[in-house]
């Protein structure tokens, strides 16, 4: 029977951590499961945890008037979901809805913040990994923003249609 620490140690996000730190994190973690179209969290709610997705697919979405629900991106197997627990006001910016049934490790943000406060080395280890995830996600989002598949805005010399 795999412990949470074992599960975490296999995950690329945690695999380079000191085993002691992995144990510390595992102490804040529980297994979680969600069914189709269930919400892991909703926009505006208290953000006090994050998820390591082991199986399944989650849509990060927000509602826009007239447009309905817009999906910003999907978080899938092997990825980490949620960083609003890192900084005040600790509120989710988006909702997370299950597209394909999810098995995840849910990690208690307040628990981790408290441990990080007491052990700064541990805090640094977590923060630097989260920073890497945020950077990678930001780069990807920037590419999404570029809207590369759209036709360039008219205004060049070519007159079409």
Give the H/E segment covering residue 130: helix 120-146
Question: Which residue number, 66 or 128, has a Cβ lying nearer to other proteins?
Answer: 66
Q: Which residues from 91-150 bind other proteins, rule CB under 8 A?
A: 97, 99-100, 140, 143-144, 146-150
CA–CA gap between residue 122 and residue 20 (Å, rounded): 9
Give 130: exposed, middle or buried? Use CB within 10 Å, 0-12, 13-18, 19+. middle
The CA-CA-CA angle for residues 9, 26, 11, to 5°, reads 25
Binding marks (x or -) toward other proteins, 42..81, rule CB under 8 A? ---------------x-x-x-----xxxxxxxx-xxx---
Question: Which residue number, 7 or 61, has a Cβ lying nearer to other proteins?
Answer: 61
Q: Are 60 and 75 in contact (CB under 8 A)?
A: yes
Question: Which residue number, 23 or 76, has a Cβ lying nearer to other proteins?
Answer: 76
CB of 1 to other proteins, least distance (A): 26
Number of residues lying near other proteins (CB under 8 A): 33
What would you report as the CA-atom Rg of the chain, rounded to the nearest whole angstrom? 19
CA–CA gap between residue 34 and residue 103 (Å, rounded): 7
Question: Which residue number, 1 or 67, has a Cβ lying nearer to other proteins?
Answer: 67
CB of 42 to other proteins, least distance (A): 14
Q: Interface residues with other proteins (CB under 8 A)? A: 57, 59, 61, 67-74, 76-78, 97, 99-100, 140, 143-144, 146-152, 156-161
């Amino acid at each position: 029977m795999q412990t949470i620490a074992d599960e975490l140690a296999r995950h690329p996000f945690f695999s380079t951590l000191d085993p002691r730190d992995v144990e510390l994190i595992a102490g804040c973690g529980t297994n979680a499961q969600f069914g189709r179209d269930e919400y892991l969290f909703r926009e505006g709610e208290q953000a006090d945890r994050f998820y390591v997705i082991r199986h399944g697919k989650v849509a990060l979405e927000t509602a826009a008037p007239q447009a309905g629900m817009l999906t910003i991106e999907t978080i899938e197997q092997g990825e980490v979901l949620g960083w609003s627990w890192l900084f005040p006001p600790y509120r989710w910016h988006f909702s997370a809805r299950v597209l394909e049934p999810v098995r995840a490790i849910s990690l208690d943000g307040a628990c981790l913040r408290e441990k990080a406060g007491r052990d700064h080395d541990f805090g640094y280890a977590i923060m630097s990994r989260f920073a890497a995830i945020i950077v990678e996600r930001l780069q990807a989002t920037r590419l999404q923003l570029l809207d590369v598949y759209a036709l360039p805005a008219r205004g060049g010399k070519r007159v079409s249609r």
